């Protein structure tokens, strides 16, 4: 499945829904952190919640192994 933000194709278990103003999209944990930081006006380096942080770390690891040019 493709992340609605970065366009990288991930296994579905590495994507999570994020609600926009009109619809819900599936995004990777890397993009989810970027989007929520922007919306909240903050600059976190990682998520506080365990599940969200595991998805972010999983996306980072997947990119290293499968999308080396990203």
pLDDT the model gives residue 55: 96
Euclidean distance between CA atoms 12 and 19, whole angstroms? 17
Please, what is the average pLDDT of the chain? 91
In 3D space, the residue among 11, 13, 68, 19 whose CA is nearest the CA of residue 39 turns out to be 19
pTM over 0.85: yes
In 3D space, the residue among 65, 63, 69, 68 whose CA is nearest the CA of residue 3 turns out to be 63
Alpha helices in the chain (DSSP H): 29-40, 50-66
Question: 13 — phi, psi (to 5°)?
Answer: -70, -10
pLDDT the model gives residue 20: 76
Q: What tens-digit pLDDT sequence spans the chain (70 residues)?
A: 899 999 999 999 999 998 877 788 999 999 999 999 999 999 999 999 999 999 999 999 999 999 666 5
pLDDT the model gives residue 70: 54
40: tokens are 């909240």
For the chain, the structural domain boundaries read 12-66
């Amino acid at each position: 499945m493709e992340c609605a933000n970065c366009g990288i194709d991930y296994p579905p278990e590495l994507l999570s829904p994020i609600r926009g103003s009109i619809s819900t999209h599936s995004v990777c944990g890397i993009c989810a952190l970027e989007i929520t930081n922007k919306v909240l006006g903050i600059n976190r380096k990682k998520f506080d919640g365990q599940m969200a942080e595991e998805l972010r770390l999983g996306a980072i690891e997947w990119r290293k192994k499968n999308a080396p040019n990203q």
